[in-house]
Amino acid sequence: MIKVENLHKTFGKLEVLKGINCEVTEKEVVCVIGPSGSGKSTFLRCINLLEEITDGAVYIGGAQVNDPKTNINDIRTEVGMVFQQFNLFPHMSVIDNVTMAPMLIRKMDKKSAEELALELLDKVGLREKADNFPQQLSGGQQQRVAIARALAMKPKVMLFDEPTSALDPEMVQEVLDVMKALAKEGMTMVVVTHEMGFAREVADRVIFMDGGYIVEEGLPSEIFANPKNDRTKAFLGKIL
């Protein structure tokens, strides 16, 4: 589904990603963990080209994302993304946030787009908030709307960039629950997270990144129970 080959990313003189190789298969849930500054968010943002790729290649469903001939907008419709800061559109009601892209890009008519949106809002438990505006919702509710908004494009892959890091502690679980349900349905997911409990429980594979490299990867049970690399040990020792 996703294939990353020798991915390099530099910001000016700073090399953030120093050659990442990885593959995510269909229906797989991959959690990316690591200390801040390790490049995990940048890695995620390179997958749908929110960051320009300096060198290497990323393929989604066979198409090379950073090939100039590829229409990146088409690829992005297949790749949903959820941000740390939610980034809901504040000038639109909740339901309009969800229906905008399907109507604009998939050319859905208003009625079926709204049906779809209500179905998705139901799924994230916020059907009754359809007519509210984002700033009337709590952080956890906003993030769940953001997930519904991404799902409205019926993506094949979902990318989560620290989806619970900006939330008050009591709201973390409601977002994780939605993600868990999504994983159970067989969505392919790449999740950058600090929620080790979630990674342990839901991930099929955990990737540990540090200093711009993938240092270690494997089953969550292996990584959390006996990490092999010293840096992984040190990191997990600090946070578990």
Partner 1 sequence: MDFLFNLRWDIIWNYRELFLQGIWITIVLTVSGYIGGIILGVFLGLGKTSKKKWIYWPCKIYVDLFRGTPLLVQILIIHLALIPTIFGHSLGVMFSGIAALVLNSAAYNAEIFRAGIESIDKGQTEAARSLGLTQGQAMRKVILPQAFRRMVPPLGNEFIALLKDSSLVMVIAVNDILYAAKVVAGAYQKFWEPYLTAALLYLILTFVVTKIVAYVERRFSIDYNPRKNKGGRVAR
Residues that bind partner 1 (CB under 8 A): 48, 50, 73-74, 76-77, 79-81, 83, 85, 87-91, 93, 95, 100-101, 104-105, 118, 130-133, 135-136, 146, 149-150, 153
Report, in Å, the least distance between residue 225 CB and partner 1: 35
Q: Report the residue number, 104 or 225, with the smaller CB distance to partner 1.
A: 104
CB nearer to partner 1: give 145 or 223.
145
CB of 228 to partner 1, least distance (A): 35
Residue 69 or residue 91: which is nearer to partner 1 going by CB? 91
**In the complex, what is the shortest distance from the CB of residue 5 to partner 1, in angstroms, rounded to a whole number?**
22
Closest approach of partner 1 to the CB of residue 133, in Å: 5
Q: Which CB sits closer to partner 1, 86 or 198?
A: 86
Query: Among 46, 35, 230, 74, which residue's Cα sits nearest to residue 155?
Result: 74
Q: Which among 199, 179, 180, 183 is positioned nearest to 239, based on CA atoms?
A: 199
